[in-house]
Amino acid sequence: MKRLSTADVAFPAAFEALLHEARETTASVDAPVAAIIAEVRTNGDAALCAYTARFDRLTLTPDALRITAAEIEDAAAQISPDLQAALDLAATRIAAFHRAQLPTDLQMHDDAGVTMGLRWTPLDSVGIYVPGGKAAYPSSVLMNAIPARVAGVGRIAMCVPTPGGVLNPLVLAAARRAGVSEIFRVGGAQAVAAMAYGTQSIAPVDRIVGPGNAYVAEAKRQVFGRVGIDGVAGPSEVLILADADNDPGHVAIDLLAQAEHDESAQSILITDDPGFADAVQAAVDRELPALDRHAIAAASWRDHGAIILVRDWAEAAALTDRLAPEHLQIMVADPAALFDRICHAGSAFLGRFTPEALGDYVAGPNHVLPTGRTARFASGLSIYDFLKRTTWIQADAAALGAIGPAGVALATAEGLQAHARSLSVRM
């Protein structure tokens, strides 16, 4: 891991290198993903079955692509009461937070006599991608499906890979709890292509959401325009701003909680105390061997982790905005005051008792967030990803007479005669 200090003369160059470190790129998968998409567009279900056999070691016929209602019920029945209660709590809280985001329609009548408005309507259909490789994430099912359901989306289809034919009971139980019954055992770029263009078994959708590996991310990028997407997600990341009043072990495990996602994940600590930095680094070394995914977390921390020493929290706020992290934990005496000085973060977690993992599962706000510094211009998944806006205008003869001449003048200046006449013939 890297150890940087703003007091060092070499800090600006070192920090710039950290900012632009390439943790994962889709460049090498552009061509194979394009080939997969083309094959699915041409051969539909047959291509899905062939790719599932190749990548997931599962031989399927087209009639077995969809997971049956009985399989979903059987999976849900396997979940312990405690886990079912946890799913219910998480789902209830996620629904409540996203329901509070529902916007209201707008209507206004101005002095010229024109009535204008804005109307919100849900998308007709949404496709959800759920990872099934190094880790399966039931929480992602809830975070993607529940906002769509709250928004009023009529059809939600879900694709999840089942390597070796193994179904994850908790993933299916989460889908059932979120009201998703159209589920396909298809993963990778081929699943994205199927949801975007449709096959004999999978009807196309209007928007695709959900995280995935480099192939999934690149496939979403390539089908964008045909369908909407939530974004092209990269490796996960956390930035922790912590003072010396914290328990070093708490901060260490929070850093490792992000590192255990995959080798390309990034965990960064910013602190103003060198001794605390040393203590956290030592705590990370102690905690790592006990993790089931210690090899993954160790690679992430070794290759992409960083501890940055700052002279004050104003420096920390400025560095945070440049990093624009996916997750931001603020563990200082007055976290709200420091958060007020920061503009760019996917989601923020304020205080010593608000680890990022709370937001991953049960807090309520969405855990699908912008990565790779895209929080500078992008936001996390929300109710708005499943709604669209339609503006409308209504004018009578008097209103047209009041503002129409200005429209005629502008249309004429642009050389658009029919536009000008469309207004003038009515006045």
Q: 71 catalytic, yes or no?
A: no
Average pLDDT, the chain: 95
Active-site residue identified among 39, 260, 326, 356:
326
Active-site residue identified among 327, 344, 356, 367:
327
> Which tens digit of pLDDT belongs to each residue from 250-288?
999 999 999 998 899 999 999 999 999 999 999 999 999
Q: What is the mean pLDDT of residues 423-427?
A: 96
> Which tens digit of pLDDT belongs to each residue from 93-145?
999 999 999 999 999 999 999 999 999 999 999 999 998 754 578 999 999 99
> Residue 234: pLDDT above 80?
yes
pTM across the whole model: 0.93
Confidence (pLDDT) at 135: 58
Give the percent of the chain with pLDDT over 90. 92
Full set of structural domains in the chain with CATH:
2-24+234-363 (3.40.50.1980), 27-104+122-229 (3.40.50.1980), 395-424 (no CATH)
Q: What is the mean pLDDT of residues 59-64?
A: 95
Confidence (pLDDT) at 88: 96
Confidence (pLDDT) at 233: 82
Q: 326 catalytic, yes or no?
A: yes
> Residue 1: pLDDT above 60?
yes
Q: What is the mean pLDDT of residues 195-221?
A: 95
Looking at the DSSP bridge assignments, the partners of residue 350 are 330
> Residue 389: pLDDT above 60?
yes
pLDDT band at 344 (very low <50, low <70, confident <90, very high): very high
> Residue 4: pLDDT above 70?
yes
Confidence (pLDDT) at 22: 74
**What tokens appear for 254 in the block?**
């929070």
> Which tens digit of pLDDT belongs to each residue from 211-220?
888 899 999 9
> Which tens digit of pLDDT belongs to each residue from 18-32?
998 877 655 689 999
Confidence (pLDDT) at 25: 59
